[in-house]
Amino acid sequence: MAYSSDFYKSYLVEEIRDEARDEGRDKGLAEGRAEDLLLILEERGLTISDETRQRIGDCRDPELLRSWVTRAVTASTSEEIFDTE
């Protein structure tokens, strides 16, 4: 029985692989930013409610998390990072 690798070389398969790779990269980036955000808030001595912690942990948008990280540097409260949404 001959083996054909055409399936693994098809355009569709490559596209699916690329999408999965991009999704994995974005997920990892979002998780890292969420961890960084919580660390910043904790190190600044700000109280983090369970709701805030959940909202940060549930967010999968790396750019939104980046904006929250930026705000966390100067926020007076942990909830203040969400103010301009």
Domain boundaries, the chain: 47-85
Q: How far apart are CA 44 and CA 74, in angstroms?
A: 9
The predicted structure's pLDDT at residue 80: 95
The predicted structure's pLDDT at residue 17: 76
Please report which confidence band the pLDDT of residue 6 belongs to, taking 50, 70 and 90 as the band edges: low
Instruction: Please state the rounded mean pLDDT for residues 21-40.
Output: 85
The predicted structure's pLDDT at residue 77: 96
Could you give the angle at which helices 11-43 and 62-72 cross, rounded to 10 degrees? 20
Instruction: Please state the rounded mean pLDDT for residues 1-17.
Output: 67
Q: Say what the pTM is.
A: 0.71
The continuous run of DSSP H or E covering 63 comes out as helix 62-72
